[in-house]
Amino acid sequence: MLSIKANISKLLTRYRASDTRSKEVVHNIMLATLMKVVSVVASLLIVPMTISYINPVRYGIWLTLSSIIGWVNFFDLGLGNGFRNRFAEAKAHGDTLLARRLVSTTYFAISSIVVVVLMAALAANAFIDWSKVLKVSAAYRGELSIVFAVVITFTCINMVANVFSSLLSADQKNGWGSCIFAAGQYVSLLVVYILTKTTTGDLVKLAVFYSGVPSIVMLVVSFVMFRCSRYKMYRPSFKYIKLNLIGNIMKLGVQFFVIYLCLIFVFQIVNVVISRQVGPMGVTQYNVANKYFNVIYMAVIIIITPMWSAFTDAYAKKDMAWMKSMVHNMGLIWLLMSCGGLVMLLVSPLFYHIWIGDKVDVPVAVSIAMFVYVVCQSLGNMFMTMINGIGTVRIQLIVYVAFALVSWPLFTCLGQFFGLVGIIAVPSLVYLIQGLLSYIQLKKIISREASGIWLK
């Protein structure tokens, strides 16, 4: 007992002696951890509820179509992430006026893009037969067309609303963003629950409320905080829009855009490939296993997300000692999370039985493949997030472009020979390579030995 008290006292002493940046990181991790636990509960509750509402096959169709529409989020041309770095740099140098101009300009630029994207998507929707694209019954054709129009509209609205989320991240207030996200999830959960009690299974109704509620929550919260909080000084205004800043934001942002465009081919087409190669039930199996093991990845994201803007701040101030200690600590955390994932793998059959009963059967091989995927995903994103904060993303760009070019044949070939397990292996390999390269790059930058492509 005395030993535990001594250790706690030691940790508190170390915390009080830590620098402001580290304290901010700890605050965000603690708040984000609480909110992620809350979000995980909501996520676990909504899966069986939704499957029961629209049945497993239609749930697979819903997930596939939603993932396709999710690609639209990447078409902000990297402005969101470019803004995040530029705002953090302006704040580190105490330039409030520039920071406000960056906020206003980013809102204007992304809103302009969204209008064009939405109009183009709705026009294309009139000519696309989604039942053929997804290889499902033609009876779903009309319903899927309406669902696409609804979800694409709210997705575009969310792109604009999420500028505020990027602002919170840039200001090292990721925990606040997690609170807003959790609120949106629980309102969605409540609405879906009401739907299950008052209506029969309807994809259109699910689309309206499930995709619409988070967008509305983010818009309302951002409006209130821009008027009644410390973010009033950054409130967007037409007079602060400076078109010349778009180029400054996009200088870095366009690299993020190309990276995320490649991510569409490497990762976001997974549900489409599974639907075509294995069938809608395979999509459901994949997503059930992914939601379970994703608890590990979410834990990693909680810890690593504050590091993006913290590394932007540290690199701007040339605080290499702090960066070195964080890289070491993150490596230890990855090893700990991987051990936790192994325990989850061992108990996964029992958990699936308790969670979803006999609605969906998840093979052991799929669980093993998903465990490996999440471990590699955690490694890759852990070190890539730090690199993103520094802004030297050229190596990431090259690797993602190379894999994007060969992703479809790789998915198809491995899917034919190894089924769902083979498909999951492709993104696992990409994350593993990115993680190792990012770690090497970080070590070079921190030791001031980086040059050439390692600094681009």
> To which residue do tokens 């940790």 refer?
11
Q: Are 33 and 302 in contact (CB under 8 A)?
A: yes
Q: Are 2 and 147 in contact (CB under 8 A)?
A: no
What is the rounded distance in angstroms from the CA atom of residue 36 to the CA atom of residue 49?
20
Would the pLDDT of 383 be above 80? Answer: yes
Residue 31 token pair? 């708040």
Provide mean pLDDT across the span 154-173: 86
Q: Which pLDDT does position 17 carry in this prediction?
A: 45
Q: Which pLDDT does position 254 carry in this prediction?
A: 79
Tell which phi-psi region holds residue 201, choosing left (phi > 0), alpha (psi between -120 and 50) or beta: beta
pLDDT > 70 in the chain, percent: 92
Would the pLDDT of 233 be above 60? Answer: yes
Band of residue 268 on the pLDDT scale cut at 50, 70, 90: low
Radius of gyration of the chain (CA): 22
Dihedral sign (CA 153, 154, 155, 159): positive
The larger pLDDT score, comparing residue 11 to residue 365, is at: 365
For residue 385, the number of C-alpha atoms closer than 13 Å in the C-beta half-sphere is 22
Would the pLDDT of 9 be above 70? Answer: no
pLDDT, tens digit (0-9, with 9 covering 90-100), for 203-232: 888 888 888 888 888 888 888 888 887 888
pLDDT, tens digit (0-9, with 9 covering 90-100), for 176-210: 887 888 888 888 888 888 888 888 877 888 888 88
What φ, ψ does residue 243 adopt, rounded to 5°?
-60, -30
Band of residue 450 on the pLDDT scale cut at 50, 70, 90: confident
Calculate the average pLDDT of the chain. 83
Q: Are 252 and 391 in contact (CB under 8 A)?
A: yes
Q: Which pLDDT does position 427 carry in this prediction?
A: 87
Q: Which pLDDT does position 304 carry in this prediction?
A: 85
Band of residue 377 on the pLDDT scale cut at 50, 70, 90: very high
pLDDT, tens digit (0-9, with 9 covering 90-100), for 293-350: 988 888 888 788 888 888 888 888 888 888 998 899 899 999 999 999 999 999 988 8
What is the rounded distance in angstroms from the CA atom of residue 287 to the CA atom of residue 271?
9
Highest mean predicted confidence (pLDDT) among 185-189, 260-264, 372-376 = 372-376
The larger pLDDT score, comparing residue 318 to residue 105, is at: 105
pLDDT, tens digit (0-9, with 9 covering 90-100), for 409-423: 888 888 888 888 888
Would the pLDDT of 11 be above 50? Answer: no
pLDDT, tens digit (0-9, with 9 covering 90-100), for 56-74: 777 777 777 777 666 666 6
Q: Which pLDDT does position 342 carry in this prediction?
A: 93
CA 246 to chain centre: 24
| CA-to-CA separations, 245 to 79, 240, 389, 456, in angstroms, rounded | 11, 11, 19, 21
pLDDT, tens digit (0-9, with 9 covering 90-100), for 26-48: 777 787 778 777 777 887 787 78
Q: Which pLDDT does position 104 carry in this prediction?
A: 92
Provide mean pLDDT across the span 361-372: 89
Provide mean pLDDT across the span 69-88: 77
Q: Which pLDDT does position 19 carry in this prediction?
A: 56
Residue 388 token pair? 């993103």
CA 49 to chain centre: 23
Provide mean pLDDT across the span 166-181: 82
Band of residue 154 on the pLDDT scale cut at 50, 70, 90: confident
Q: Which pLDDT does position 73 carry in this prediction?
A: 67
Name the DSSP class of 358: T
